[in-house]
Structure 1
Amino acid sequence: MDPLLLQELDIHLPSKTAEVCYQKSIDSLHDADFMVNHNLFSIQAICLLIYIGHNIGQSDRISVLLASAVRIAQCLCLHRLGPDPRKNTDTVEQSPRAVQQRLIDREISKRVWWFLVRQDWLQIPFNNTYNIHPTQFNTSMPKNCKEELSLMFSSDDVIDRDQEHYTQGSYTMVLNHVAVLIWKTQDRMCQQGHPDAVEGGLHKLYAEVIQSDRELRELMDKMPTFFRNASRDDDLPAHVRYQREVLSLSFAHKFYSIHRHFQIPSFKDPWFAYTKVSCLPIMRRSLATIISLPEEPYTSIVKSLWTVNTQVLTTVVWLLFELIFSRGTGTQLLDATEIRDLAIKSSNFLQQNQIMSRIAKRGFSLINTLLELDKSVERGDDTEFNLKEIISRVEKNDQDSREESGGLPSAELNGNSFVNWLSRDAAILGFTMDIFDSA
């Protein structure tokens, strides 16, 4: 929320309040013995905890809670709701209100299940694995319906509106289809096998990447008009503009997700040059827009999202890699001054958010470290790109700041090493870690 609105509610330390509520929610789940007493409310609680858990550095706990939520949902058969019936086929006589409530409950269950699907499949680039397999559920995607009862129903069925009709579910409707694409990409690449096992294996994997890149662009072109341009802004709620910008940044991150294995090779091998051509321009545009948002009430919401902080960090780090690794090769796509300017503005963006987000705090330190490295390279210093040293420096800055504030050391709060956080939560190094020494 806007800090001024929070102050009116006598909330002056929102991040601390959020952590207290987060911990009380965890305690309540355990008090209810949620792993034995299964119900929809436990799943919904876990879904909500995601937004705080990643920000305070508890990604390991969140991933385990999500896996529990998936299993609970399966025990409740949320994954086997089947396709939507064409009309009310219940032979038992029911009142109109009872019919409506049954359909509402069905839509709620569909939304919860697809939230879990979306979280699972959009995490594939972080973990290179997933828990939910599409052959093992048949619950259809939620309908694009209004929330108000008077606008939700037509006779005895929920109105599934055209995608050009904005609803509360419009944003997640787009991400549902993106999540499916990310899963398909992972499966196709796994079917190819290890690149060393077949002749031309690396190039075959890259062909799958190019195919997925093409499909992602098709999804962008098919998005609702209000997520592609501002022509209808006057007819829509104010927050749709912010959803559009966040969605643009999310798509930039998904292009990275698809091309991530070929990020470093694209700096050195012309065969993989399309990775830079595809990813860098949309990263530059979406990043410039997000970090330049005016200071308005909805901006506070955008800045507090763990996904936005992660995606800002991911995009700016790739832009800095382009600056560092392509210098002197004659293949640099973007202007060096523009990249540095975006990196500095992104660093300031994350610095403003570091009270709320551990990702932002570490990202701020990481960006500044890479900017210093770039200056050394530009001066012609005999500088080696030492990944372990960079990680150690960022981790030390994080620990020092926690000790100064009297907070928990990062290892205690996060429950895993900083290397794991950097490769999974920030999704920026992963596969490439073994390539840096030769780079």
Structure 2
Amino acid sequence: MQTAQQLFSGMVQTLYHSHFLNNLSICSVQAIVISTEVAHNLGLSQLNATMFNAAVRIAECLGLHKIKDHPSSLTQTRDQWEERVEREVGRRVWCQMIIQDHFAIPFTDTYSISPLQYSTGRPLNADEQNLSELPTNIPTISTYVRVLVELAALMPDLVDGLGPMNKRKSRREQYEHILQVDQKMRAVVKGIPSFLLRPDKAKESKIPWLSIVRRSLAITAAEKIIMIHRPFLFRSFHDPNYGHSRRTCIAAAMTILREHETIAKEEDLSIWTHTAFAITAAVILCFEVNATVEDPSDGKIEMYREAVLSARERLALRNHDLLAQRGVALIDAILIAEEAHFGTKQRKRGGHIDFNRIFANYSTLSRVILNPDDEMAFGKFPGNSPDEFRSVDTNEMQFAWNQDEIDFDIWFNGIFTDLQPSPLG
């Protein structure tokens, strides 16, 4: 069986050989959308993002953004049936494009698909045999993505409500807007079918994929709460005015890592979002540990620290997942910087986060991952712990960043776009 890397490379080569930018086809769009499932794990996020935006334009040229609603009556003739199938395929592809486009907003502060410029509706919650619409309380193959697209639909308003990029609204107005989007998010969650929110043994015994879908949704929904509060996330660790964001993001991070641990223990299907969001959650908990003055009678900090270390070990076991290995390097970099600042005995916290040292540590550790000729390449790096990297040269990179004005998004996104490997290996 070919590896994911070989299949991805084969897809890219096939697209180029078929001149997909000129010979427009829905198959090209489908291939690019599906490839997102592995692109990030392979360290090919930039290539995937570029191809995805090409796919958006192809989809618009094909009219996927303005598919008319299905006829109210069920189809009778073969032509009518084929038309119904084509409409539903188009809806599903467009739905996936909305999800991928809008969930990528925090990494670029922009989006390619405007909510005002498409009319294609959501996929049907339908029986696969005859595409007859079913009540929302009955699980179908489209249930999960129908929920995801409702969450994704909140994101354009989130970024637009902060004001133009060159003239942001006041901090107070921005935060009020974020709290409003937070409430909208919670309203959407309340409308999610109950079998996706709570275990339902009867349904899960009949539908094998229902359990992993429920856990994946919990991880994704928690990460979306973090996404909403992200503009004030770093500030919330040292400004009590944004304490709601801090508490919300900590709770969401713990939810992500709890579900991630269960998936790993059950050896269930793992998708790229599990890895990506577990990294985000671990980083947030690292910052919480750093920013909190420890109370010996309060066991929360130790609980958070253990959750981070457990997540680090789970990620380390994903030997051929480049995203996971970068996450390991980032967690190690933060832990090393924390110990260098506080020492092994002094455990008092005060909100100091040395981004310069973290970035330098990460730069050194990540080179180990991205250099295939290094003796600690894939398969060897995961066995190491942060203790084995205390001797890294953290002075090799110097940055003139003002610690008080550091932008969390720029820093975090910079970490995962740094040192990109060759697109096709």
TM-score by length of 2: 0.82
In structure 2, what is the equivalent of residue 73 of structure 1? 59
> What is the match of residue 397 of structure 1?
365
Of 140, 153, 167, the match for 2:140? 167
Cα 1:44/1:309, change in 2 over 3 Å: same
Name the residue aligned to 2:251: 281
Contact persistence 1:362–1:395 (CA under 8 A): no
Q: Compute the displacement of 1:319 (Å).
A: 1.1
Give the aligned partner of residue 221 of structure 1: 190
CA distance change for structure 1 residues 401 and 74 in 2, over 3 Å: closer, same or farther?
closer
**Is 2:90 aligned against 1:122?**
no
Q: CA deviation at 1:406?
A: 6.3
Instruction: Give the letter aligned to residue 387 of structure 1.
Output: F
Contact kept? 1:55, 1:359, Cα under 8 Å: yes
Distance (Å, rounded) in 1 between the aligned partners of 2:24 and 2:412: 41
Equivalent residues of 1:44, 1:112 under 8 A apart? yes
Q: Does the Cα contact within 8 Å between 1:261 and 1:431 map onto a contact in 2?
A: no
- Is 2:223–2:252's contact at 8 Å kept on the other side of the alignment? no
Could you tell me which residue of structure 1 aligns to residue 391 of structure 2?
none
Which residue identity is paired with 1:220? V
Compute the displacement of 1:236 (Å). Answer: 3.7
Partner of 1:369 in structure 2? Answer: 333
Deviations, residues 214-260 of structure 1 (Å, cap 9, x unaligned): 11111111111111111344454122111111111111110110000
The residue number in structure 1 matching 2:381 is none
Give 2:46's aligned residue: 60
Task: Give the paired residue count.
Answer: 379
Q: Deviations over 1:275-324 (max 9, x none)?
A: 01222113213312321335445x2x21xx22111100001111110110
Partner of 1:415: none
The within-5 A match list for 1:36-435 is 36-87=22-73, 96-147=77-128, 149=129, 152=130, 158-190=131-163, 194-195=167-168, 201-231=170-200, 232-293=202-263, 295-296=265-266, 299=268, 301-302=269-270, 305-327=271-293, 335-353=300-318, 355-376=319-340, 377=342, 379-380=345-346, 385-403=353-371, 405=373, 429-431=408-410
* Distance (whole Å) between structure 2 residues aligned to residue 267 and residue 27 of structure 1: 46
The list of structure 1 runs, each at least 4 consecutive aligned residues, that deviate by more than 6 angstroms after superposition, is 381-384
Q: Distance in 2 between matches of 1:228 and 1:430?
A: 30
Superposed CA RMSD in Å reads 2.9
Please state how far the C-alpha of 1:357 moved relative to its aligned partner: 1.7
State the identity as a percent: 23
Q: Secondary structure at the match of 2:161?
A: helix
The amino acid across from 1:341 in the alignment is: E
1:424 aligns with: none
Write the distance in 2 (CA, Å) between the matches of 1:136 and 1:124.
Answer: 17
SS of 1:230's partner is: coil
Could you tell me how far 1:84 is from its partner in structure 2?
A: 3.6
Asked if the contact 1:261–1:432 (Cα under 8 Å) also holds between the matched residues in 2, the reply is no
Contact 2:88–2:123, Cα closer than 8 Å, also in 1:
yes
Asked if the contact 1:340–1:371 (Cα under 8 Å) also holds between the matched residues in 2, the reply is no
The verdict on how the C-alpha distance between 1:404 and 1:132 changes in structure 2, with shifts beyond 3 A counting, is closer
Partner of 1:421: none
Mark the CA change 1:284 to 1:82 in structure 2 (over 3 Å): closer, same or farther. same
Q: State whether residues 99 and 152 of structure 2, in contact with CA within 8 Å, keep that contact through their aligned partners in structure 1.
A: yes
Change (3 A) 1:279 1:72: same
Where is the helix percentage greater, Structure 1 or Structure 2?
1
Judging changes above 3 Å, is the alpha-carbon distance between structure 1 residues 334 and 309 closer, same or farther for their aligned structure 2 residues? Answer: farther
Unaligned runs of 5+ in 1: 1-10, 89-93, 153-157, 411-417, 419-427, 435-439
2:185 and 2:365 mapped to 1: Cα distance? Answer: 38
Given that 1:120 and 1:132 are in contact with CA atoms closer than 8 Å, whether structure 2 keeps it comes out as yes
Report the Cα offset of residue 161 of structure 1: 1.4
Task: Write the distance in 2 (CA, Å) between the matches of 1:350 and 1:294.
Answer: 10
Higher relative contact order (CA 8 A, sep 6+): 1
Residues 114 and 142 of structure 1 are in contact (CA less than 8 Å); yes or no, is this contact kept in structure 2? yes
Q: Distance in 2 between matches of 1:282 and 1:291?
A: 14
Helix, strand or coil for the counterpart of 1:268?
coil
Extract unaligned runs of 5+ from structure 2. Answer: 379-396, 398-406, 414-425
Task: Please tell me whether the aligned partners of residues 67 and 131 of structure 1 are also in contact (alpha carbons under 8 angstroms).
Answer: yes
Q: Deviations over 1:110-153 (max 9, x none)?
A: 11111111110111112110011111111111111122x2xx2x
